[in-house]
Amino acid sequence: MGRLRNLVHLDLSDNYLWGYIPPTLGRLSKLENLHLSSNSLVGNIPSTLGHLTQLTTLAIASNHINVSIPLEIGNLNFLQVLDLSGNEIRGSIPSTFGHLKRLKSLDLSQNKLVGPIPSSLGHLTQLTTLNMRSNLINASLVNLTSLSLHYNNLTGPIPSTLGHLNRIRILDLSENKLVGPIPSSVGHLTQLNTLNMYSNQINGSIPLEIGNLKRVEAVKLYDNKLDGPIPPELMNCSKLMELELGNNLLRGSIPSEIGKLQELYYLDLSHNFINGKILSELGAIPSIDTVDLSMNNLSGSIPKSVRKVPHLDVLGNNLEGEIPSTSANGPPPHHKKIATRLVPIILAMVALLALIFGILIIRARRDKKVEPAETGEITKCADEFAIWNYDGRITFQDIIEATEDFHIKYCIGTGGYGSVYRARLPSGKVVALKKLHCSETEELTSLESFRNKARLLSQIRHRNIVKLYGFCLHRKCMFLIY
C-alpha cells in the first residue's frame, strides 16, 4: 500500500483489520485523510505518519493501540481533526501537539494517558473541540485563576467539578451551547470576581449558593432559559456592580433585599416575567446608573427615586402614570446585553435588509410585466405567511397576539421603510417584526418574485446581520420576521 503515492483518501474504518499499522503508510505523501477507526489494530502509531504533511484528518479511534503517541504527529501542519479516542494509549500528551496550528478537533478520550496537560495546547487558537475524558491525567488545576471559554461550541451540561477551582477569579463560559442547570458547586468559588454564562441554553433556577460569592463584581447570566424567582441570597453579593439576568424566564418579584447592593451600577432584568412593583430601594443605591426592567409584568407606579436613575427603561410593563422616555435619560452603556441591544441592532441591520428589499422590489417591477389580477386581493394574511430556518413553530396568530395586532406599545422604532415591533412568542422566543409601510406593498407586482427573493435573503448568515426568519405578505399587512 505504501506504493500508492497519489492516494489522497484512505478509509478502512469499521472493518475487521487486526495487527499493526504498517510504517509504510508514511510513504503516501499526498494523503489528506486517513481513517482506521473501529478495527482491532494493536501496537503503536508509527512515527512515519509524521511524514504525511498534507494530512488534514487522522482517525485511529476504537482500536487497541497501547503505546505512547509519537512526537512526530506534531509535524502534521495541516491537520484539522485528530481522533485517537477509545484505545489504550499510554504515556503523556506530546508537547509537540502545540505545533498543530490548524487543529480544530482533538479527541484523546478513553485512553490511559498520564501526566499534565501540556501548556503548548494553549497555542491551538483554532481548536473548538477538546475531549480528554476517561484518562489518568493527574494535572492539577486548583491554581487556575482565569478560565475563559467564551464563544466556542461547547455543548452539554456545566460540570459540577468546576467548584474545585477554588482560586479562580474569572469564569467565562458565555456564548456556547451549554444546557442544564448552573451547578450549586459554583457557590464554592469564593474568590470569583466575574461570572459570565450568558448566551447559552442554561435552564433551571439560579442556585442559592451564588450568594456565597462575596467578592463577585459581575454576574452575567442573560440570554438563557433560567426560570423561577430571583433568589434573595443573590443580594448577599455585597460587591456586585453588574447584575445581568435579562432575556430569561424568571418570575416572581424583585427581591426587597436588592437595596443591599450598595455598589451596583448596572441592573438588567429585562425580557422576563417579573411581576409586582418597582422598589424604591433601587433608586436609593448610590452608585446605580442603569436599570433595565423593560418587557416584564411589573405594575404600579414608578417611585420618584427610581425616576432619577440616569438610564432607566421600563417599557413593556403594566405601569401606572407617566412612563419616562428611555431616550430622554440617555443611551445605555456600550456593554448592554445582546437582547436589550435589540433596538439599535434592529434599526441599523433591518435598515440594511430593508434597503435590499427595496432594490429587489424595484427590480421585480422592471423584470416582470404586470399581469391582470384574477382573484383580487388576498383576503387572509395568513395564507401568505412563511417561515424558514427557525427551530420552532411560529403561526400568524402568535404574531398578532404577541403584538396585540401591532399595538403602538410594542413599537421599538420607526424608519423610512416601516416600523419595528418586538414580539415575545409563546415559546419565550423574542423576535422583531418589520412592518412595511402600505406604499411599499401597493407597489408589488409579483408576489411570487417577492417570495423567492425573500427566501434568498433568509439564507444570509453573518454574525453582524439580523437573521431573516420569514414574512407575511398582503396588500394591507406586510411584515418581515427577524
Query: How many domains does the structure of the chain reveal?
Result: 3
Distance CA 97, CA 80 (A): 12
Domain end (from 139, 154, 182): 139
Q: Same domain for 78 and 160?
A: no
Instruction: Indicate which CATH number applies to the domain containing 419.
Output: 3.30.200.20
**pTM as predicted:** 0.52
Distance of CA 175 to the CA centre of its chain: 4
Distance CA 332, CA 57 (A): 47
Q: Same domain for 256 and 329?
A: yes
pLDDT attached to residue 325: 64
Q: Same domain for 259 and 125?
A: no
pLDDT digit string (tens) for 314-334?
A: 999 999 988 876 544 444 443
Of 111-120, 139-148, 277-286, give the lowest mean pLDDT range.
139-148
The fraction of the chain above a pLDDT of 90, given in percent, is: 54
pLDDT attached to residue 428: 65
Mean pLDDT of the chain: 81
The better pLDDT of the pair 455, 67 is held by: 67
Q: Does the pLDDT of residue 189 top 70, yes or no?
A: yes
Q: Domain containing 432: what range?
A: 340-481
What single-letter amino acid sits at 447?
Answer: L
CA 319, 325, 327, 330 torsion: positive or negative?
negative
Q: Same domain for 40 and 148?
A: no
User: Do 112 and 85 form a contact (C-beta atoms < 8 A)?
Assistant: no
The better pLDDT of the pair 269, 402 is held by: 269
Of 104-118, 191-205, 378-392, 405-419, give the lowest mean pLDDT range.
378-392
Task: From 357, 355, 328, 331, select the one nearest 344 (Cα to Cα).
Answer: 331
Domain end (from 139, 168, 193): 139
pLDDT range class, residue 406, cuts 50, 70, 90: confident
Q: Same domain for 112 and 159?
A: no
CA 370, 374, 378, 384 torsion: positive or negative?
negative
Q: Same domain for 311 and 356?
A: no
User: Do 65 and 89 form a contact (C-beta atoms < 8 A)?
Assistant: yes
pLDDT digit string (tens) for 344-357?
A: 555 555 566 666 66
pLDDT attached to residue 152: 75
Q: Same domain for 281 and 329?
A: yes
Q: Same domain for 313 and 452?
A: no
Number of H helices, E strands in the chain: 7, 33
Distance of CA 25 to the CA centre of its chain: 42
The better pLDDT of the pair 259, 123 is held by: 259
Q: Which residues contact 177 (CB under 8 A, 6 or more apart)?
A: 153, 154, 155, 200, 201
pLDDT attached to residue 331: 41
Domain end (from 334, 360, 382): 334
pLDDT attached to residue 398: 75
pLDDT range class, residue 127, cuts 50, 70, 90: confident
Q: Same domain for 248 and 330?
A: yes
pLDDT digit string (tens) for 230-242?
A: 999 999 999 999 9
Could you report how far apart the first and last alpha carbons of the chain are, in Å? 54
The better pLDDT of the pair 404, 473 is held by: 404
Of 79-88, 196-205, 215-224, 444-453, give the lowest mean pLDDT range.
444-453
pLDDT attached to residue 416: 57
Q: Is 368 annotated as a binding residue?
A: no
Q: Does the pLDDT of residue 337 top 60, yes or no?
A: no
Instruction: Indicate which CATH number applies to the domain containing 270.
Output: 3.80.10.10
Distance CA 23, CA 69 (A): 14
Q: Same domain for 150 and 283?
A: yes
Q: Same domain for 63 and 11?
A: yes
Q: Same domain for 173 and 305?
A: yes
Distance CA 299, CA 320 (A): 7
